[in-house]
Amino acid sequence: MSPDRLLTTEEVARRLGVKKETVYAYVSRGLLASRRNGDGKESLFAESDVVTFAAGRRRPGPAPDAPAIHTGITLITGDALYYRGHDVRVLARTESYESVATLLWTGEPRHVPLVPDDELRALARAVTAPLPPAARPTDRLRIIVAAAAAADRLRFDTTPAAVVATARTMLDTMVAALPVQARETGPPVGFPVADALWPRLTAAPPTPAAIDTLNTALVLLADHDIAASTLAARVAASARAHPYAVVGAGLAALDGPLHGAASGLAYELLSDAVRSGDPVGTVSDRLRAGGGVPGFGHPLYPAGDPRAAALLELLWASPAPAARTRDLVAGVADAVTRRSGTAPNVDFALAAFTLLNGMAADAGEAIFAVARTAGWIAHALEEYGDRPSRFRPSGRYAGRLPKDVPARGRAGSVRA
């Protein structure tokens, strides 16, 4: 096989066993590189790149000692998302984030307020006060959670009732200890977490529609099966780490451009489109640079991310501070979807929401972190009820062997 052989989009789709639209989605997300042919009308792919990509996307079967994760929390069907059997799109329209957190933790959607602890709030604000102004909200959240853990002498109580109680106070502290950008104005709208989080993300005055949309985003992002951060949280819980450490593990895995910070990349794209006033030109520049267009496509939703559809529906329908900005943001979505058939994902929707409401580029990551804390706790509760230390795969040593170790010793490993 010549590494220089070029394949058409149709050939790549056949090779990977997917639709052409899915190939376009891989390109838009930067997962597969493409180039144009001489007349600029057809995408071409290096066969060696396709072979490498195909090898990377194959999921080998579980190793004999790798436990299967049986969960009753979240179901993804390919076109819909369910929390404990409830369609998340319905939950986002009808329930508060607190109600959905209770659903994830106990199985019943019920609005139970978070539990404030004034001493814990004061401690969290004190330990994060020395951070530089450039510190991201998620930088602060990691420190807030660690400080709260140090102050809780009963943090190792992993009985279900204790974990849920800990989670309600931890979530309150995480939000309340973030610095306020503007004084809260007007009466609460009815979604306490969203009400409290809003002035910590933007100086723009809250409106009922804006708070409702923020609550919707929190609900949509509360869980998503065994994502990278959730796996990290479950591994910590399996080792019987306390709930604060579980959330800390989730926050650590979330902190990257391929997971929680992905909305920041989409935010940059949308900011460029708003500054230039040319959404099609902005998309063209990204494609010309070869880096793909962030915020589009999702491997688990071939027909489109239902979370993005639910959030964007609210954004397009709600009055925006600047209609022209909203039109330019919508123009980016339209340009990509019309050309490639690839729909926006939740990272795009989150970036659009934060940009349209005067929030910083890292605000989407903060919303994601606060929202997903409910899911991490739910998965920890499942792990606490299962056999401890289930996650201990064996590595296959591929380095230099000591002289006194036979070659067959490569496959073994010492467990600890």
- Going by the DSSP 8-state scheme, the letter that residue 410 receives in this structure is G
**84-122 confidence digits (pLDDT tens):** 999 999 999 999 999 999 999 999 999 999 999 999 999
Q: How is residue 393 annotated by DSSP?
A: P
Q: Is pLDDT above 50 for 54?
A: yes
pLDDT at 184: 57
At residue 414, does pLDDT exceed 50?
Answer: no
Mean pLDDT (whole number) for 34-61: 71
Alpha carbon distance 230, 232 (integer Å): 5
**What amino acid occupies position 203?**
A
Comparing CA positions, the residue from 109, 387, 136 lying closest to residue 255 is 136
Q: Is 36 helix (H, G, I), strand (E, B) or coil?
A: strand
Mark 38-66 as b/e (b = at least 16 C-beta within 10 Å). Answer: eeeeebbbbbebbeebeeeeeeeeeeeee
Alpha helices in 223-298 (DSSP H): 228-238, 243-254, 262-276, 279-289
At residue 15, the 3 state secondary structure works out as: helix
**For residue 98, what are its two tokens?**
């607190």
Residue 19 in this model has a pLDDT that exceeds 80: no
pLDDT tens, residue by residue, 281-318: 999 998 888 778 999 999 999 989 999 999 999 999 87
- pTM of this structure: 0.82
Under a CB-based contact definition with an 8 Å cutoff, are residues 263 and 350 in contact? yes
DSSP state of 376: H
Q: What is the pLDDT of residue 38?
A: 63
Neighbours of 280 (CB within 10 A): 16
- Cα–Cα distance, 53 to 25 (Å, whole number): 14
Please tell me the distance from the alpha carbon of residue 37 to that of residue 39, in angstroms, as a whole number. Answer: 6
Domains and CATH numbers, the chain: 6-52 (1.10.1660.10), 86-260+362-384 (1.10.580.10), 262-356 (1.10.230.10)
pLDDT on residue 2: 44
Q: How would residue 61 be classed by pLDDT, with cut points 50, 70 and 90?
A: very low
Contact indicator for 344, 337 with CB cutoff of 8 Å: yes
Rounded to 5 degrees, what angle do the CA atoms 26, 53, 3 make?
A: 115
Q: Which pLDDT value is given to residue 36? A: 74
Question: For residue 185, what pLDDT band results from cuts at 50, 70 and 90?
Answer: low
Confidence band, pLDDT 50/70/90 cuts, at residue 160: very high
DSSP string for 50-110: HHHHHHHH--PPPPTTSPP---SSEEE-SS-EEETTEEHHHHHHH--HHHHHHHHHHSS--
Secondary structure class of 45 (helix, strand, coil): strand
Return the ∠ at Cα 200 (arms to 198 and 202), rounded to 5°.
70
